[in-house]
Amino acid sequence: MNARLVFLGTGAAIPIYRGLPCLALKVDSTIYLIDVGEGCQHRLFKMGLSPLKVRTIFITHGHGDHFLGLFGLIQTMNLLERKSVLNIVAPEPLSTLIGRAIESMMGRVGFEVKVNASRIGEAYKDEYVEVTPYPVCHTIEAHGYLIKLASKTISYTGDTAPCETVREYSRKASILVHEATFTSEYASEAWKQGHSTARDAALTASEAGVELLVLTHLSSRYKDDHVLLADAYRFFKRTITARDYMTLIL
Protein backbone atom coordinates (compact mmCIF):
# COMPACT_ATOMS: atom_id res chain seq x y z
CA MET A 1 0.00 0.00 0.00
CA ASN A 2 1.27 3.40 -1.04
CA ALA A 3 0.25 6.21 1.34
CA ARG A 4 1.17 9.85 1.73
CA LEU A 5 -0.01 12.93 3.60
CA VAL A 6 -0.06 16.16 1.61
CA PHE A 7 -0.45 19.44 3.52
CA LEU A 8 -2.45 21.67 1.19
CA GLY A 9 -3.17 24.49 3.64
CA THR A 10 -1.35 25.07 6.91
CA GLY A 11 -2.45 28.54 8.03
CA ALA A 12 -5.01 29.76 10.54
CA ALA A 13 -7.95 32.03 9.72
CA ILE A 14 -6.29 34.67 7.49
CA PRO A 15 -4.51 33.24 4.42
CA ILE A 16 -1.62 35.68 3.96
CA TYR A 17 1.45 33.44 3.94
CA ARG A 18 -0.28 30.06 4.06
CA GLY A 19 -3.42 28.49 2.67
CA LEU A 20 -6.45 27.69 4.78
CA PRO A 21 -6.64 24.30 6.51
CA CYS A 22 -6.74 21.34 4.15
CA LEU A 23 -4.91 18.03 4.50
CA ALA A 24 -4.98 15.25 1.91
CA LEU A 25 -4.32 11.61 2.69
CA LYS A 26 -3.69 9.59 -0.45
CA VAL A 27 -3.80 5.81 -0.17
CA ASP A 28 -3.02 4.14 -3.49
CA SER A 29 -5.20 6.22 -5.82
CA THR A 30 -7.91 7.09 -3.25
CA ILE A 31 -7.85 10.51 -1.59
CA TYR A 32 -9.33 11.55 1.77
CA LEU A 33 -9.47 15.21 2.81
CA ILE A 34 -9.47 16.52 6.33
CA ASP A 35 -10.87 20.07 6.44
CA VAL A 36 -11.53 22.00 3.26
CA GLY A 37 -10.55 25.67 3.53
CA GLU A 38 -11.20 27.96 0.58
CA GLY A 39 -9.09 27.27 -2.50
CA CYS A 40 -8.57 23.64 -1.59
CA GLN A 41 -9.42 22.36 -5.09
CA HIS A 42 -6.81 24.63 -6.68
CA ARG A 43 -4.22 23.24 -4.28
CA LEU A 44 -5.22 19.66 -5.11
CA PHE A 45 -4.59 20.36 -8.80
CA LYS A 46 -1.27 21.99 -7.99
CA MET A 47 -0.13 18.75 -6.36
CA GLY A 48 -1.47 16.56 -9.18
CA LEU A 49 -4.29 15.23 -7.00
CA SER A 50 -7.60 14.83 -8.84
CA PRO A 51 -10.80 16.01 -7.08
CA LEU A 52 -12.46 13.02 -8.75
CA LYS A 53 -10.38 10.69 -6.58
CA VAL A 54 -11.59 12.25 -3.32
CA ARG A 55 -13.72 9.60 -1.66
CA THR A 56 -14.47 11.11 1.76
CA ILE A 57 -14.10 14.54 3.35
CA PHE A 58 -13.81 14.83 7.13
CA ILE A 59 -14.50 18.29 8.58
CA THR A 60 -13.45 19.14 12.12
CA HIS A 61 -15.88 21.99 12.85
CA GLY A 62 -18.03 24.79 11.55
CA HIS A 63 -15.59 27.72 11.54
CA GLY A 64 -15.34 29.08 8.01
CA ASP A 65 -11.62 28.55 7.52
CA HIS A 66 -12.19 24.78 7.87
CA PHE A 67 -15.14 24.18 5.54
CA LEU A 68 -15.90 27.09 3.19
CA GLY A 69 -13.86 25.47 0.41
CA LEU A 70 -16.32 22.58 0.29
CA PHE A 71 -18.83 24.20 -2.06
CA GLY A 72 -16.22 25.32 -4.58
CA LEU A 73 -14.71 21.85 -4.51
CA ILE A 74 -18.12 20.24 -5.16
CA GLN A 75 -18.70 22.70 -8.01
CA THR A 76 -15.35 21.73 -9.54
CA MET A 77 -16.16 18.03 -9.17
CA ASN A 78 -19.48 18.66 -10.92
CA LEU A 79 -17.82 20.48 -13.83
CA LEU A 80 -15.45 17.52 -14.15
CA GLU A 81 -18.56 15.32 -14.47
CA ARG A 82 -17.94 13.33 -11.36
CA LYS A 83 -20.25 10.32 -11.09
CA SER A 84 -19.01 8.50 -7.97
CA VAL A 85 -20.50 9.04 -4.50
CA LEU A 86 -18.83 11.66 -2.29
CA ASN A 87 -18.97 11.15 1.49
CA ILE A 88 -18.80 14.06 3.90
CA VAL A 89 -18.39 13.59 7.64
CA ALA A 90 -18.82 16.61 9.95
CA PRO A 91 -20.11 17.28 13.46
CA GLU A 92 -23.65 18.50 13.98
CA PRO A 93 -25.01 21.10 13.36
CA LEU A 94 -22.56 21.62 10.48
CA SER A 95 -23.52 18.34 8.80
CA THR A 96 -27.18 19.45 8.65
CA LEU A 97 -26.19 22.85 7.26
CA ILE A 98 -24.03 21.25 4.56
CA GLY A 99 -26.79 18.82 3.62
CA ARG A 100 -29.29 21.67 3.21
CA ALA A 101 -26.84 23.85 1.29
CA ILE A 102 -26.13 21.08 -1.18
CA GLU A 103 -29.87 20.46 -1.65
CA SER A 104 -31.05 24.03 -1.93
CA MET A 105 -28.23 26.41 -2.84
CA MET A 106 -26.21 24.55 -5.40
CA GLY A 107 -28.80 23.48 -7.93
CA ARG A 108 -28.27 20.13 -9.53
CA VAL A 109 -25.20 18.19 -8.48
CA GLY A 110 -24.72 15.28 -10.86
CA PHE A 111 -23.42 12.85 -8.28
CA GLU A 112 -24.57 11.59 -4.92
CA VAL A 113 -23.29 13.41 -1.84
CA LYS A 114 -23.77 11.50 1.40
CA VAL A 115 -23.49 13.75 4.43
CA ASN A 116 -23.03 11.96 7.73
CA ALA A 117 -22.92 13.43 11.22
CA SER A 118 -19.64 12.66 12.91
CA ARG A 119 -20.35 11.00 16.28
CA ILE A 120 -17.80 10.38 18.99
CA GLY A 121 -16.63 6.79 18.97
CA GLU A 122 -18.42 5.91 15.71
CA ALA A 123 -15.75 5.10 13.16
CA TYR A 124 -15.84 5.51 9.39
CA LYS A 125 -14.35 2.40 7.80
CA ASP A 126 -13.44 1.26 4.34
CA GLU A 127 -10.78 -1.04 2.91
CA TYR A 128 -7.96 1.49 3.53
CA VAL A 129 -8.77 3.52 6.63
CA GLU A 130 -10.59 3.54 9.92
CA VAL A 131 -11.31 7.10 11.05
CA THR A 132 -12.59 7.73 14.58
CA PRO A 133 -13.82 11.18 15.65
CA TYR A 134 -12.83 12.38 19.09
CA PRO A 135 -13.84 15.46 21.11
CA VAL A 136 -11.46 18.42 21.31
CA CYS A 137 -11.59 21.63 23.36
CA HIS A 138 -12.66 24.49 21.09
CA THR A 139 -15.22 27.30 21.22
CA ILE A 140 -17.87 25.29 19.31
CA GLU A 141 -18.50 21.56 18.84
CA ALA A 142 -15.33 20.31 17.15
CA HIS A 143 -13.90 16.86 16.48
CA GLY A 144 -10.37 15.63 15.98
CA TYR A 145 -9.91 12.53 13.83
CA LEU A 146 -7.80 9.47 14.57
CA ILE A 147 -6.93 7.83 11.27
CA LYS A 148 -5.74 4.25 11.29
CA LEU A 149 -4.01 2.84 8.25
CA ALA A 150 -2.59 -0.68 7.99
CA SER A 151 0.77 0.35 9.43
CA LYS A 152 0.42 3.91 10.80
CA THR A 153 -1.87 5.97 12.99
CA ILE A 154 -2.37 9.68 12.40
CA SER A 155 -4.12 11.98 14.84
CA TYR A 156 -5.40 15.31 13.51
CA THR A 157 -6.66 17.77 16.11
CA GLY A 158 -8.29 20.55 14.10
CA ASP A 159 -8.69 23.61 16.33
CA THR A 160 -8.24 22.93 20.03
CA ALA A 161 -6.97 24.39 23.26
CA PRO A 162 -4.75 21.97 25.25
CA CYS A 163 -7.08 19.03 25.77
CA GLU A 164 -7.02 15.74 27.69
CA THR A 165 -8.91 13.86 24.95
CA VAL A 166 -6.24 14.77 22.39
CA ARG A 167 -3.66 13.10 24.65
CA GLU A 168 -5.85 10.04 25.16
CA TYR A 169 -6.76 9.44 21.52
CA SER A 170 -3.29 10.27 20.19
CA ARG A 171 -1.45 7.86 22.49
CA LYS A 172 1.50 6.25 20.63
CA ALA A 173 0.30 7.66 17.30
CA SER A 174 2.82 7.61 14.45
CA ILE A 175 2.05 11.23 13.61
CA LEU A 176 0.23 13.90 15.62
CA VAL A 177 -0.87 16.81 13.45
CA HIS A 178 -1.60 19.39 16.13
CA GLU A 179 -2.71 22.96 15.75
CA ALA A 180 -0.23 25.55 17.04
CA THR A 181 -1.78 28.90 16.32
CA PHE A 182 0.60 30.96 18.46
CA THR A 183 3.85 30.78 20.43
CA SER A 184 3.66 30.46 24.22
CA GLU A 185 4.16 34.23 24.52
CA TYR A 186 0.47 34.50 23.55
CA ALA A 187 -0.78 31.54 25.61
CA SER A 188 -3.66 33.32 27.33
CA GLU A 189 -4.89 34.75 24.02
CA ALA A 190 -4.64 31.28 22.43
CA TRP A 191 -6.57 29.53 25.21
CA LYS A 192 -9.25 32.22 25.31
CA GLN A 193 -9.88 31.59 21.60
CA GLY A 194 -9.87 27.80 22.00
CA HIS A 195 -6.42 27.40 20.45
CA SER A 196 -3.04 25.97 21.45
CA THR A 197 0.49 27.27 21.44
CA ALA A 198 3.40 25.37 19.90
CA ARG A 199 4.56 24.60 23.44
CA ASP A 200 1.11 23.13 24.29
CA ALA A 201 1.29 20.91 21.20
CA ALA A 202 4.77 19.73 22.18
CA LEU A 203 3.74 18.89 25.74
CA THR A 204 0.77 16.92 24.42
CA ALA A 205 3.01 15.08 21.93
CA SER A 206 5.44 14.22 24.71
CA GLU A 207 2.75 13.01 27.11
CA ALA A 208 1.03 10.98 24.38
CA GLY A 209 4.35 9.42 23.32
CA VAL A 210 3.86 10.04 19.60
CA GLU A 211 6.61 9.41 17.06
CA LEU A 212 6.36 12.72 15.17
CA LEU A 213 4.65 16.04 15.88
CA VAL A 214 3.61 18.25 12.96
CA LEU A 215 2.58 21.80 13.83
CA THR A 216 -0.10 23.33 11.64
CA HIS A 217 -2.83 26.05 11.68
CA LEU A 218 -0.14 28.70 12.17
CA SER A 219 -1.24 32.29 12.62
CA SER A 220 -0.45 34.80 9.89
CA ARG A 221 1.41 36.82 12.52
CA TYR A 222 4.32 34.40 11.88
CA LYS A 223 5.89 34.93 8.52
CA ASP A 224 8.83 32.93 9.80
CA ASP A 225 7.72 29.69 11.45
CA HIS A 226 11.05 29.06 13.20
CA VAL A 227 9.77 30.78 16.35
CA LEU A 228 6.98 28.22 16.57
CA LEU A 229 9.39 25.36 16.01
CA ALA A 230 11.74 26.72 18.69
CA ASP A 231 8.82 27.06 21.11
CA ALA A 232 7.90 23.38 20.64
CA TYR A 233 11.38 21.93 20.25
CA ARG A 234 12.34 22.64 23.86
CA PHE A 235 9.65 20.18 24.97
CA PHE A 236 9.50 17.68 22.10
CA LYS A 237 12.40 17.14 19.75
CA ARG A 238 10.70 15.17 17.00
CA THR A 239 8.75 18.23 15.80
CA ILE A 240 8.39 19.78 12.38
CA THR A 241 6.30 22.73 11.21
CA ALA A 242 4.00 21.98 8.29
CA ARG A 243 4.37 24.06 5.14
CA ASP A 244 1.93 24.30 2.27
CA TYR A 245 2.51 21.44 -0.21
CA MET A 246 4.75 19.52 2.22
CA THR A 247 4.37 15.78 1.64
CA LEU A 248 5.08 13.01 4.13
CA ILE A 249 5.49 9.52 2.72
CA LEU A 250 3.88 7.11 5.18
Q: Is the Cβ of residue 4 or residue 15 nearer to Zn ion in the bound state?
A: 15
Q: What strands lie across the sheet with 239-241, from one edge to the other?
A: 124-125, 130-135, 143-148, 153-156, 175-179, 212-216, 239-241
126: annotated active-site residue: no
The answer to whether residue 143 forms part of the interface with Zn ion (CB under 5 A) is no
Catalytic hit among 28, 35, 65, 126: 65
CA distances from 6 to 38, 73, 114, 245, 250 (A): 16, 17, 24, 6, 10
Q: Is the Cβ of residue 19 or residue 233 nearer to Zn ion in the bound state?
A: 19
Nearest-angstrom CA–CA distance, 14 and 36:
14
3-state secondary structure of 225: coil
Distance from the first to the final alpha carbon of the chain: 10
Q: Is the Cβ of residue 65 or residue 244 nearer to Zn ion in the bound state?
A: 65
Instruction: Choose, by CB under 5 A, the member of 63, 82, 143, 148 that binds Zn ion.
Output: 63
CB of 20 to Zn ion, least distance (A): 8
CB of 75 to Zn ion, least distance (A): 23
The answer to whether residue 65 forms part of the interface with Zn ion (CB under 5 A) is yes
Interface stretch with Zn ion, choices 73-81, 106-114, 152-160, 233-241 (CB under 5 A) = 152-160
The answer to whether residue 159 forms part of the interface with Zn ion (CB under 5 A) is yes
Catalytic residue ranges: 65
Instruction: Give the footprint of Zn ion on this chain (CB under 5 A).
Output: 63, 65, 159
